[in-house]
Amino acid sequence: MASEVDIANRALSMLGEIRITSMADENKPARAMNARFDLLRDAELSAYPWRFAIKRVQLAASTDVPEWGYSLIYPRPVDDLRPIKVGGASVNANMVGVFYESTGISTEETPYEIIDGKIQTDMSAPLDYEYIAQITDTGAFDPLFVEALAARLAADAAEELTQSKSKKEAALLVYKNTLSEARRVNSLYRPPRRRTPGRWMGSRASFY
């Protein structure tokens, strides 16, 4: 299991920098890693539904009610980085807005909206909710996620630590290749979800 220091040192090794013993070390590499670690960790978690970071809960409705539009408010979990599914099976193709119309704007009623960080919806409690959690325990990270995060840290810190464009590009290449492999492996944990065509796509298909 990799620690924060292990991940930081993997990033530093990609740049040819000295290893650190603590994120609080009083040297430039440690300060560079410490300044970026939490932000880039959350960014990488949010970028893809990593299986180790997915949680499912049932939410209770708030006693507060929306000013207008929907009937219920649901507070999101404190470790919620972004939602994956709201409402579970009750969210079906007839309810979900079409986000790939020619205008790029939904033309159908949506089952929920996130406003002021809370879910507003008409779906009754308890609300099934699937989300990407803010995982801070690095021991829970998938090994390929560790490598992708280290490469992202290296690429982001390359200019500050090395002023080398080639080292930054090399780190970005490692990041891209590792992330591609990590996503491929991650997808094996669940079959792909079928996307139901929207009205615009359906109308185009009818011409063929």
pTM, rounded to two decimals: 0.79
Return the structure tokens found at 158: 């390359």
pLDDT one digit per residue (tens) for the chain, 208 residues:
899 999 999 999 999 999 999 999 999 999 999 999 999 999 999 988 888 999 999 999 999 999 998 999 999 999 999 999 998 633 343 444 444 344 444 445 578 899 999 999 999 999 999 999 999 999 999 999 999 999 999 999 999 999 999 999 999 999 999 888 887 887 777 666 555 454 444 555 544 4
Q: How far apart are CA 145 and CA 141, in angstroms?
A: 6
Return the structure tokens found at 59: 């939410």
Neighbours of 182 (CB within 10 A): 21
* 3-class SS shares of the chain: helix, strand, coil, % to 5: 45, 15, 40
Q: Helix or strand or coil: residue 58?
A: strand
Domain ranges of the chain: 4-49+142-187, 53-134
